Amino acid sequence: MNNSYLIKTEHIKKIYPMGLTTLIALDDINLTFKKGEFAGLVGPSGSGKTTLLNIIGALDSPSEGSAEVLGKKVETLSHRSAAHLRNWYIGFIFQTFNLLPVYTVFENVEFPLLLQNIPSPKRKKLVMEALEWVGLADRANSKPAHLSGGESQRVAIARAIVKKPELVLADEPTANLDAENSHHIMRTMVQLNEELKITFIFATHDEKVMRYLKRKISLNDGKVEKDEIFELEVKK
Amino acid sequence: MIKFLIKGLMRDRSRSLFPVLTVFAGVFLAVFLYSYINGVVSDMLKMTAHYQTGHLRIMTQAYAKEINQNPNDLALIGVNELLQKLNKKYPQMIWTPRIKFGGLLDIPDENRETKIQSPVIGIAVNLISKSSPEYKLLNIKSAIISGHIPNNPGEILIADEFAKKLNVGPGDTATLISSTMYGSMTMVNLKIAGTVYFGITAMDRSAIFTDISDIQSALDMQDAAGEILGFFPDDIYHDEQATLIASSFNEEFKNPEDKFSPQMGTLPKESGLSDYLATINSMSIVIIAIFIVTMSIVLWNAGLMGSLRRYGEIGVRLAIGENKGHIYRTLILESMIIGIFGSILGTLAGTGIAYLIQVYGLDMSFLFKKSSLMIPNELRARVTSGSFVIGFIPGIFSTVLGTSIAGIGIYKRQTSQLFKELEV
C-alpha cells in the first residue's frame, strides 16, 4: 500500500442499466483519501454518495476505472476477498443502526471479532474498550430494544471500531437522531478519529454532520463538484 | 460461534420454537410408528413362531403340501431318531415335536351322555416333562386362568373362553373324537387340568393343549409327529443362521423323489410372512421418506420466513465482512442444532409413549373377533436401539435440507444494495 493515501479512485464510473437506457451513478471520480481523514460525501439524493461509499467499502465494484482501497483493487476482488477486507479493515455504520436484536450490546459489538476467530479473553477486552470509548460500558448486558436511538448508534459505532479498522464508512449516521444525540455521536467519532487515527468517510446531507467534517466532497449527478478541506475548530 | 448461534436460537423463539416443534412432531411420529410397527411385527412373528412354525420347521414334503388340513397321515415317523440327530448336529437349537389335530370335543353329562359337542383344534406338545421347552415357548404358566398344568397322562388344558362356552372347568372330563394316522375313528377320554388364555382370538375360541404322548397314543402316532419345530435359545429369529441350518438339513435329508422325506423351512418362508415383512420394511422406509419430504417442505417454508425476518441481520453480517458461504454454513449449523434438539425431544417422547405401549399393550381384541390369524389381542410397541436412531434421520436431514434450500437466497443477495436495504 502506498503510504501517501489509504484510498485512491481513478476515473471511476458506475453505470446501472435501466431498461433500454442506462443511469450513470458515478462519472469520472478521481479522489484520494489519506489515513486519518474525517471526510464527508455530501449532496442531494441520487448524487452518488452511497454508490461511492459502496465501492470504497468493497460492497460494489466500479463499471469503469479503478478503486484502490487499503492497497487492494476493489474491482478485482473476489466476493471472499472483499468480505475479508471488510471484516478486517473496514467498519460500517448505518442510518438505522442495524443491531442484532436478540443479542446484548456486548454480543453485538463482539460479533465482528467472532468472525476473526479472536480468542475469548482478548475479545472481551476489545469489546469493553470499544464500549468505554462510546460511553456504554455500563450497558453491556442490555438488549438493543432497551436503548435509545443515540445509544443504539453508539453501539453501532463500537461495533464498527472494535476490530480497530483502518477505515469507518458511515451512511447518514445521524439521520434517525435528534440534534443532541447527533452532536454526541459526531463528537465521539471526532474523538476516535483524533485519538485512534481511524479514517472516517460519511455519506450525508445532514448539516449537523457537515459541521464536524474536515473535508467535504460535494457530489452532484455522479460528479465531484467541490472538494473542500476545513479546520475542525473553525467549523465547530 | 456455536455458542453465539445457540444464544440466538434460545432467545429468538420464532427462530427456534416453530422448527423445533415441527421436528419434534415429525420425529415423535416417526419414532412412535417405527416402534409400534416393530412391536406388532415382532409380536406377530413371535406368536407365529411359538404357535405355528417355530424359527425352523421340519415336516414331510407331503405334510407340507397339505398343511392347512393338519394331515397327520402324512406325518413324520421315526421322530425320536430324527430328534437325536438334530440335537447332535444342531445343538445350538431347541428342538421340539408337535402334533396339530382337529376333531370334536364331546362333553358328557352325569349319565355319560353327550351334553354338548364342539369342533376343536388341538396342539399336542410335551406338557408332562418339567424340562419341556414348551412351557416357556407357549408361556403356559402365566396363561393359566384356573386349575393347574397337567401333571399326569390324559390331562389337558383348554382355552378359557372355549371352556366357558362348553360350560366345563378343571376336573371335568371331555372326550376327543378324531381320526388316527391311518384314517380310523378314535375316541379318547381326557381330563381338564386347567383353563388358559392364549391372547389369540383364533385359539381362544376353540383350542386345547394336550400332552404329545397322549395324542400319539390316541392317534396311533407312536414315534411320529406332524412337525418338529426348532427355536433359537434367545427366542429371536436369526435369518442368516436359520437359512444355513435349513439348507444344510435339506441337503442331507430332503429327497425330492420321496414325499415322506423331511424338509426344513425357515420362519418367514413357513409363515408366508416374507413378502409381508419385506412390505413392512418398505413401508417403514416410505413413512420415513414422507416425513423427511413433508418436514423439509414445512421447514423450508419456515426457513424462508426466517430468512425474510432476518433479512436485515444477514445484510449486516454481509456488510460487516462475513462471507456468504460462512453465513450459509451458520444457518445450516443452526438448523442442525434445531434438528438435533427437536430429534432428541421427539425421540424421548416417541420412545416414552412406545415404551408405555410396550409395557401395558393396547387391547385390540375387538378387532380380531373373527380372525384366524396368529395376531396377539394386545398389540405392543417395541423399543429397540433402532428406535433411538431412526428419528434423527428425518429430524436432522429435513431441517438441513429445508434450510439448505431456503438459504440459497443468501447467494443471490447483492452486497451493492446493502446500504439501501439496511436503511429501509
Which residue from B7, B326, B416 is facing A103, i.e. has the nearest CB?
A: B7
Find residue A73's DSSP bridge partners: A68
pLDDT at B348: 95
Domain boundaries of chain B, sorted by first residue: 2-47+275-422, 56-231
Is the pLDDT confidence value at A75 over 60?
yes
- Which residue has 418436514 as its cell numbers? B295
Element (H, E) at A170: strand A167-171
CB contact (8 A) between residue B319 and residue A57:
yes
Chain A CB within 8 Å of residue B422 CB: yes
**A7-235: CATH topology:** Rossmann fold (3.40.50)
* Separation between Cα atoms, residue B238 and residue B82, nearest integer Å: 23
Pure H helices in B103-176 = 134-137, 140-143, 160-166
Residue B102 has φ and ψ, to the nearest 5°, of: -125, 170
**Mean pLDDT, residues A180-199 taken together:** 88
A77–B contact, CB cutoff 8 A = no
End-to-end CA distance of chain A: 33
Place of cell 480468542: A119
Q: Please tell me which of the candidates A102, A159, A171 has its beta carbon nearest to residue B11.
A: A102
Using 70 as the pLDDT threshold, list the residues of chain B that sit under it: 365-377, 416, 418-424
H and E: helices and strands count for chain B:
18, 14
The predicted pLDDT at position A233 comes to 54
Gap between the Cα atoms of A151 and B393, Å rounded: 46
Give residue A155's identity as a one-letter amino acid code. V
| pLDDT at residue A73, as a whole number | 94
| Cβ distance of B423 and A111 shorter than 8 Å | no
Chain A interface includes B8 (CB < 8 A):
yes
**What would the pLDDT profile of B330-372 be if each residue is shown by its tens digit?**
989 988 998 999 999 999 999 999 999 988 888 776 665 555 4
pLDDT at residue A220 greater than cutoff 60: yes
Share of chain A above pLDDT 70, in %: 96
Question: Is the pLDDT confidence value at A235 over 50?
Answer: no
Q: What does the pLDDT read at residue B176? A: 94
Chain A residues with CB under 8 Å of B11 CB are 102-103
Q: Is B312 on the interface with A (CB under 8 A)?
A: yes
Q: Determine the residue of chain A that is closest to B326 in CA distance.
A: A115
Cβ–Cβ < 8 Å for B397, B290: no
Question: A89: which 3 cell numbers?
Answer: 479493515
H/E element, A218: strand A215-220
**pLDDT tens digit sequence for A165-189:** 999 999 888 887 888 888 888 898 8
B202 neighbors B373 (Cβ within 8 angstroms):
yes
Domain boundaries, chain A: 7-235
Q: Select the more confidently predicted residue: B366 or A114.
A: A114
Q: pLDDT-based confidence at A29, cuts 50/70/90?
A: very high
Question: How much of chain A is in helix, strand and coil states, percent to nearest 5?
Answer: 40, 30, 35
Angle at A102 between CA A100 and CA A104, to 5 degrees: 80
Distances (CA, A) of B153 to A89, A148, B148, B210: 97, 96, 14, 9
Nearest to A114 among B1, B313, B325 (CB): B1
If phi > 0 it is left, if psi is from -120 to 50 it is alpha, else beta; for residue A19 that is left
Which amino acid, B13? R
| pLDDT of A39 | 94
A23 and chain B in contact, CB less than 8 A: no
Q: Assess contact for A142 and B39: CB atoms under 8 A.
A: no
ipTM confidence score: 0.86
Q: Please state at what angle helix B324-360 crosses helix B274-309, rounded to 10 degrees.
A: 140
Whether chain A has a CB inside 8 Å of the CB on B324: the answer is yes
